[in-house]
Amino acid sequence: MKNYSKKISSLTSLLKKDSHFPLNEESLRQFHKLKEAFSIAPILSHFHPYLPTIVEADASDYALGAVLSQISDSGKHPIAFDLRRLLPAELNYEIHDKELLGIVWALKRWRAFLLSLFSSFEILTDCLSLQYSMSSKILTCPQACWAEFLSEFHFSITYRPGRLDTLPDALSCWDKIYPERGEDFISNNPMNYQKIIKQD
């Protein structure tokens, strides 16, 4: 929760050993603001199989990020967030395959939720070509395996420009998940023709 420590500063002072428990006006105000903060997004909600469901996935050079959300009468609420580093072999994937891998990985993570839905769900991606990739008659071996897995689900893929894909993009680009000093890392040449593995 954003600014959590500030929101509860007056309340935590009541926990001190010699503190008197009676609440003052400021503590009551913070208590009510805290109650309100816990009742609205981005607090995680419980999953409901009858609500419209959205999976947002994104891939960066080094990581995958995904968000599972549902839409209720009060708006869009997150159910789960997840991210992971790409494996060494996955670092060499083309960006299209990284984005598709992100979707497959997200659906594997939340498979039990998504298969329990009473209606289809929506996948949001900032990779325009993914809207048409599964209808291609020519697939690589990984793409064919992914296509078979994806056939279990009932979904539609919707393109959303990268500038609007802020949440999963923030997860996949989180600096804490990027390689640290001394680790192998990938750099692209300026023309993006070939990925070159370097040792720091």
Q: How remote is the C-alpha of 83 from its chain's centroid?
A: 6
Q: How far is CA 49 from CA 116, 119, 124, 129, 134, in A?
A: 6, 8, 19, 29, 26
- Residue 3: which region, alpha, beta or left (left: phi > 0; alpha: psi -120 to 50)? left
End-to-end CA distance of the chain: 36
Q: Give the list of residues 6+ apart from residue 118 with CB closer than 8 angstroms, or none.
A: 49, 50
| Residue 106 near residue 82 (C-beta atoms within 8 A) | yes
- Residues forming beta bridges with residue 195, ordered by sequence position: 188
Both structure tokens of 89: 């072999």
The predicted structure's pLDDT at residue 6:
63
* pTM for the model: 0.67
Residue indicated by tokens 């329990």:
116
The CATH number of domain 53-178, selected from 3.40.50.150, 3.20.20.140, 2.60.40.10, 3.30.420.10: 3.30.420.10
**What CA–CA distance (Å, rounded) separates 106 from 81?**
10
* Annotated domain spans of the chain: 4-38, 53-178
Helices (H), 24-76: 25-38
The predicted structure's pLDDT at residue 119:
95
Q: Going along the chain, which residue ranges are E strands?
A: 53-59, 63-72, 75-85, 121-125, 155-159, 184-188, 195-199
**pLDDT by 10s per residue, the chain, length 200:** 566 666 666 666 666 667 665 667 776 777 777 777 666 656 678 899 999 999 999 888 888 889 999 999 888 888 998 888 888 889 889 988 999 999 999 999 999 999 999 999 999 988 887 767 666 777 888 888 998 999 999 999 998 876 554 555 565 555 555 555 555 544 443 333 334 333 33
**What CA–CA distance (Å, rounded) separates 81 from 18?**
40
- Residues forming beta bridges with residue 65, ordered by sequence position: 58, 83
